[in-house]
Amino acid sequence: MTAWNASAMSTATAFCEAGLAHFRDGRHLDARACYQQALGLDAEHTDAQHLMGLLFLQARQYNEALQWIVRAIQRAPKPEYLASFATILQQYGRCDEALNVLDQAIQLRPDDAELWRQRGDIFVQLARLDQALPSFQHALELNPHHQDALYKSGIVLHKLGRNEEAIACLDLSDSLLPDHGPTLRTRAWVLYCLKRFEDSATDGRRAHQLDPDNAEICNNLGLSLRRLGRNEEALAWFDKAIEIQPRFVDAFDNKLVALFHLHRFDEVFALSDRMTSLGLNSTVTEWNVSLAHLLTGNLEAGWHGHQARLKLPSARHPEFQRPMWLGEENIEGKTILVAADEGLGDTIHFVRYVPMLAERGARVILVVQDPLHRLMSALGGASLCVPRSAMGTLPAFDLHCPISSLPLAFETRLDTIPSGPYLPAPPDSLVQAWDNRLGPRSRLRVGLVWSGDPFHVNDETRSIPLRTLSRILDVDATYVSLQKAPRRHDAAVLRERNDIVDLTADLTDFAETAALIACLDLVITVDTSVAHLAGALGRPTWILLPWTPDYRWLLDRADSPWYPSVRLFRQTKTREYESVLDRVRHELRVLAAAFGH
């Protein structure tokens, strides 16, 4: 090599280094001028060729980028050139080829965290999350402070349902880059999924400050506030999301739910009409509007809209080849399959219609959740009761009707509700066995349930901590737990108390629970399946209800047209249970004092 060539190469390298600094600082025109000067001195300077390719890549001119980067690779297949080539292949959607190229780069430089991060990105693009995560994690092993790998690990862990691990990664990402909007936006959503609504709202506000024109951030912040019971504040954020993105269906639906929880039902119906006029009505909208109709007593409109549940992503009703019956045709002599399609409480609630089908001359095959099978097998009107686990062996049938569609099929109005009790009484031998375990009946026996399914959409409004419920336990009575699977903090409280009889380990199904309830004088429960069970058995039942209850409890009444033996104790606008429990305690004292007289 001559001295002139060596000098030219050295100068070309200096131009490349200067150009790279310009490129990193966003001064792309200055960077291009430097690269062109480098190439003028040495047309085959591979770094200059690669950097020219990066400029075209940045400008999304992928064909030109490809030409420059391939030229560089042909002379010197460096890992960074291969990584850029893989990026271009990604842009063309040729991800499998990009993986092969990137794997070549990793073989040349296996300790480069950035290459492993890019490998994870490609797997994400291929929707192969279980393979993306190890790549991001390996990048973090090589560089524990790789903020992008931390952030993307958090996203993948969330999508894999591993939210606690996701939060750990996002916390580290935030500590390394405190004002990274995507990290805050993602962490806010993961916190929401973990029901840490206050923390989610805090991150949501920070993310909004960084990205005020992001409608998704506004919508998600509104969701957190709504779950905190701060519906008025939530409305403002849903409106902001709609202002930014005027056809944001989720924001409209969430605004509708906030209005629902504020009992502003006229506005719910008006908003639904507006969405219809804009062509934005969704299945979720139809479902939520149906609940507003049902809660306010307009059952005719409500039951029709209630059918929307069958189209929701969470629908549990299986597909059947036979036609669905909704009351229009004569069913005399026909076999009709009635299958559970919502929760356990819904099945208990709507099974009251089965004898009515039999009265119309139908042979009824009833399919219920396994824990209900033994109890429902003795139900009048059902020719056959099948547990859901045995649905593969169903006999032939002519028609089917989801159990929650029966009120629609029977055109149920408030004045035609078929009220309880309607469940068969538990066998005397089973009742006697439980009675013996409870011992002498010297005081009022009161069954207690304080929480429902933790995954229920309104769990935080309907379930209460056992410690809160304990304010009624100073009334002289025998308290019996009917609470299956208490939450960790409640289980700890239950262990501390010796004034609650806990035999729930032997409540193996609802037949056992029904027999235990038959031994009690009263059941006090939040709105869960036991409330329906006790009401359907005709047992005295007091139900603790949130300010905005499930539709079947209606509004502003202390009784239930569905269950004559039920009394309703409702929250006021304060939306707290302490005052509700004070009313319960007062009524319970009266009942306990009268016991045995």
Which is more confident, 54 or 437?
A: 437
556-579 mean pLDDT: 96
**Local confidence band at 30 (pLDDT 50, 70, 90 cut-offs):** confident
- Confidence check: pLDDT of 546 > 80: yes
- The residue-averaged pLDDT of 419-439 equals 94
Residue 196 has pLDDT above 50, yes or no: yes
pLDDT over 60 at 1, yes or no: no
Report whether 224 contacts 192 (CB < 8 A). Answer: yes
- CA dist 48 and 34 (Å) reads 9
pLDDT at 207: 97
Residue 4 has a pLDDT of 36
What average pLDDT does range 572-578 have in this prediction? 93
Looking at residue 6, its pLDDT comes to 45
Q: How confident is the model at residue 128 (pLDDT cuts 50, 70, 90)?
A: very high
pLDDT confidence band for 596 (50 / 70 / 90): low
Does 491 score more than 90 pLDDT?
yes
Give the burial class of 211: count Cβ atoms within 10 A of its Cβ; 0-12 exposed, 13-18 middle, 19 or more buried: middle
Predicted TM-score (pTM) of the model is 0.87
- Tell me the CB-side half-sphere exposure of residue 291, using CA atoms within 13 A: 17
Nearest to 108 by CA among 70, 145, 82: 82
Pick the more confident residue, 87 or 581.
581
pLDDT for position 456: 82
Taking 50 as the threshold, does the pLDDT of residue 360 lie above it?
Answer: yes
Which residues, in sequence order, are CB contacts of 192 under 8 Å at separation 6+? 200, 220, 223, 224, 227
Instruction: Write out the E strands in 519-596.
Output: 522-526, 541-545, 566-570
pLDDT of residue 597: 64
What's at 302, amino acid-wise?
A: G
Q: 524: number of CA atoms within 13 Å, CB side?
A: 26
**SS3 state of residue 526:** strand
- pLDDT computed for residue 448 by the predictor: 98
- 133 Cβ contact list (under 8 Å, min separation 6): 120, 153, 156, 157, 160
Top pLDDT among 7 and 208 is at 208
pLDDT tier for residue 70 given thresholds of 50, 70 and 90: confident
pLDDT in tens, 275-297: 999 999 889 999 999 999 999 99
Mean residue pLDDT of the chain comes to: 93
Give tens-digit pLDDT for 393-424: 899 999 999 999 999 999 999 999 999 799 99
Residue 66: what pLDDT?
84
Interior angle at CA 194, CA 189 and CA 199, nearest 5: 65
Mean pLDDT of 545-569: 97
